[in-house]
Amino acid sequence: MEKESALSTVSVRERAEFAAVWVLVHLLGALPRGLARTVGAAIGNLAYSVLSRLRRVGAQNLAMAFPNLNNAERERILKTEYRNLGLLLAEFCQMSRYTPEQASRFIRYEGLENYLRARERGQGVLVLTGHLGAWELSSFYHSLMGYPMGMVIRRLDNPLVDRFVNRIRCLHGNRVIHKDDFARGLIASMRAGETVGILMDTNMTPPQGVFVPFFGRQACTASGMARVAQRTGAAVVPGFLLWEEREQSYVLHFGEELPVVCTGDTEADALENTAKFTAVIEDYVRRYPEQWLWMHRRWKTRPAGEEGIY
């Protein structure tokens, strides 16, 4: 009843936005996958051309992260990232049609044994991930192959779109843990021996965020994963679904379980573990720079007394 009541209050604009999303998803979803990806890539290229403010943020972030690259190379990375976002849009629109057999033609695992070994411990698994590669397809494919998981996400501003998107995400047993119920939901999941993925590469604000290095610059980063791992003994495993150009397919990489420092000093441990987890994300981004979300204002929150970047 509460959901129905909340949805009844949506505005005309929100209903129009939902209608546009619904039409786009169903139009791209009805196309053959190859054609849908071609259309998605074109949408990404168009977005690069028209979204000038986001393009400037991306260019600024790349200049900070890769100061030794020339402008032409940074522009190439950013253009490719926009195209990648268009491809991810196409994959999302197609996801509800995928079967395990179909998806396995263009997605494979690498390091699945690392995930399974961590899961067998029975204390829960925290999948360290970020807005890199095909993050929406990542958790969906994992559930499609028989490994449903929780996903920590922020509610979308439009409740109709939020409900629609989450229905697709959860078709094969995944479940959503909203950030406003983060700590309680995450701890309960770990105690039940479940798996939860956390996108840990977005700008935060204190006290939820702590400052750790990211590409040589202090970045305010969520410390919740570290704190939950310290408290519950859950395993932390990196997981990223990345496009491999040589194979012309996606590979879901699971890295080895990351050691979690537990000295008894909760705050110092949270800071050290968050820094270690962030360094892992940076390593993946450095290897696949064309697939990270450069247009996000990752370094927006600054330490006290330091001027803003953007």
Tens of pLDDT, residues 125-142: 999 999 999 999 999 999
CA dist 206 and 227 (Å) reads: 15
Strand 217-222, strand 209-214: pairing: antiparallel
Which has the minimum average pLDDT: 103-107, 170-174, 206-210? Answer: 206-210
What is the predicted pLDDT for the residue at 10?
85
Share of residues in the chain with pLDDT > 70 (%)? 97
- Taking residues 268-275, what's their average pLDDT? 98
What are residue 127's DSSP bridge partners? Answer: 197, 237
What is the predicted pLDDT for the residue at 7?
56
Which has the minimum average pLDDT: 81-90, 184-193, 268-277? Answer: 184-193
The answer, yes or no, to whether residue 52 has pLDDT greater than 80, is yes
Tens of pLDDT, residues 168-196: 999 999 999 987 777 788 999 999 999 99
Average pLDDT, the chain: 95
CA dist 260 and 265 (Å) reads: 13
Share of residues in the chain with pLDDT > 90 (%)? 93
259: left (phi over 0), alpha (psi -120 to 50) or beta: beta
Closest Cα partner for 39 from 83, 76, 75? 83
pLDDT grade for 1, boundaries at 50, 70 and 90 = very low
What is the predicted pLDDT for the residue at 180?
73
Closest Cα partner for 261 from 249, 274, 243? 274
CB-based contacts of 37, cutoff 8 Å, min separation 6: 87, 90, 91
Q: Is the peptide bond prior to 207 cis by the omega test (within 30 degrees of 0)?
A: yes
Instruction: Say if residue 120 is exposed, middle or buried (CB neighbours under 10 Å; 0-12, 13-18, 19+).
Output: exposed
pLDDT grade for 79, boundaries at 50, 70 and 90 = very high
CA 291 to each of CA 81, 99, 158, 287, 295: distance values in angstroms, whole numbers, following the listed order: 5, 25, 26, 9, 11
- Taking residues 261-276, what's their average pLDDT? 97
Instruction: Say if residue 122 is exposed, middle or buried (CB neighbours under 10 Å; 0-12, 13-18, 19+).
Output: exposed
The count of other CB atoms within 10 Å of the CB of residue 20 is 11
CA dist 270 and 222 (Å) reads: 10
